[in-house]
Structure 1
Amino acid sequence: MKRCVGKETLTKLGLYLSKKPLSQAKLSRRTGISKDRISKLHIDIKSKPSIEEIYLIALALEVKYNEIVEFLCEGLKLRPEEEWD
C-alpha cells in the first residue's frame, strides 16, 4: 500500500525541503544524514533537526544557513520587555 504524504503532514523543515529541487535520497547522499533521518525530518513533528543537520542541508542545497533558520523560526518573538523580570 502506497502512503501519500500531503503538505499538511509535513514538518516545517519538510515543507521547506519540498520546495527545493533535491530529492531525499540525494540530500542523504550529499549530507551523510541517513535516508531514514531525512524522512523523519520531513514528516515527524517530534524530530527536531540539529544545528549540524541544518548546516549540512544548507550546504547541500547551496543556500545560506540563516535562510533555513529564518524559515523554521518565522513568527518567533521575544516576550514583551515588561515580562522580563
Structure 2
Amino acid sequence: MVTKLGEYFKLKSVNKADIARKAKLTSPRLTELSNNPTAKLRADELYLIALAMDVSPCELLEFVCGDLKVKPQS
C-alpha cells in the first residue's frame, strides 16, 4: 500500500535514494514512510524531505495531511 508521501513521490517522479541521501535518512526509512500507512512521519523528516526535493515544506505537509479534519466540539 502506498502512503500519501509515496503518492507525492510518484507525482513528482523523484528518485527516493537521492532524496534519502540528501535528507540524511536511510533508504529503508524512506521506503517505510512511502509504503507503510502505520509509519509515523516526524515533522523534522517531512521538513528535510521537502528541502531535499526543493519544494515548500508547507506544500508537502498539505499534500500529506490535507485530508485531516478537526472534530466539531459537542
RMSD: 1.2
Q: How does 1:1-85 map to 2 (within 5 A)?
A: 9-81=1-73, 83=74
TM-score, normalized by length of structure 1?
Answer: 0.78
User: Deviation of residue 22 (structure 1)?
Assistant: 2.1
The structure number with the bigger radius of gyration is 1
Gaps of 5+ in 2: none
Amino acid at match of 1:70: E
CA distance in 1, matches of 2:53, 2:20: 12
CA distance in 2, matches of 1:80, 1:18: 34
Q: 1 or 2, which has the higher helix percentage? A: 2
If asked which structure has higher relative contact order (CA below 8 Å, sep 6+), I would say: 2
TM-score, normalized by length of structure 2?
Answer: 0.89
How many residues align? The count is 74
Q: Identity of paired residues, percent?
A: 35
Gaps of 5+ in 1: 1-8
CA distance in 2, matches of 1:21, 1:14: 10
